[in-house]
Amino acid sequence: RLFFYHIRDCLPELKTRINVLAAQYQSLLNSYGEPVEDKSATLLQLITKFATEYCNTIEGTAKYIETSELCGGARICYIFHETFGRTLESVDPLGGLNTIDILTAIRNATGPRPALFVPEVSFELLVKRQIKRLEEPSLRCVELVHEEMQRIIQHCSNYSTQVRMFPKLHDAIVEVVTCFFFRRLPVTNEMVHNLVAIELAYINTKHPDFADACGLMNNNIE
């Protein structure tokens, strides 16, 4: 009889808990939508949706837009025009050069003959050294953009409810996209190295900007 009374007292609470859990899981089941009949079509649809959401985040046309911070294409634009732009503007063209360096380069380029003007060889030597300084901030810009593109993956994952319904597929998409970006990072860095190398390979002293640079160097020497 005690056992019977115990069951009678506990049954209403137990029934309520079961009903609540049943409602929760039924709601979760309903959120999964209709059963998947064509797995290939569903897979293609989800991958396409993720790719579209990623592109929309970069272009600023995503359905869910952050209001607390810059993200996606806006963040990449900020990196290029603000972070990278200010870094380049802060680079002193004559930074690291002093009168002794300039005079030494000129004298080494003229040998035993006194120089009347700045020799082109020494000028190119000094200019190339300054151009080389642009490589490090350029590589840093690549790194920042790469980090933001990784963040976009997480941003799309948070708001792509359909993809998150399939955890293994979600993890596979994130892994593939992440690995793809990491594989392209060395290639992008190599492109930056090549662009700087191209500028170092040929100095166009006929360019109007160099006339002002030569005049500035001569004034510093005087």
**Helical ranges in 32-164 per DSSP H:** 39-59, 73-78, 85-90, 99-110, 120-131, 135-159, 161-164
pTM: 0.72
Rounded to whole angstroms, how far apart are CA atoms 83 and 174?
28
Residue 63: name the closest of 156, 142, 162 by CA.
156
Which pLDDT tens digit goes with each residue over 143-199? Answer: 999 999 999 988 887 656 677 678 888 889 899 999 999 999 999 999 999 999 999
Using an 8 Å Cβ cutoff, are 46 and 157 in contact? no
Whether residue 204 is predicted with pLDDT greater than 70 in this model: the reply is: yes
Which pLDDT tens digit goes with each residue over 7-17? Answer: 777 778 888 88
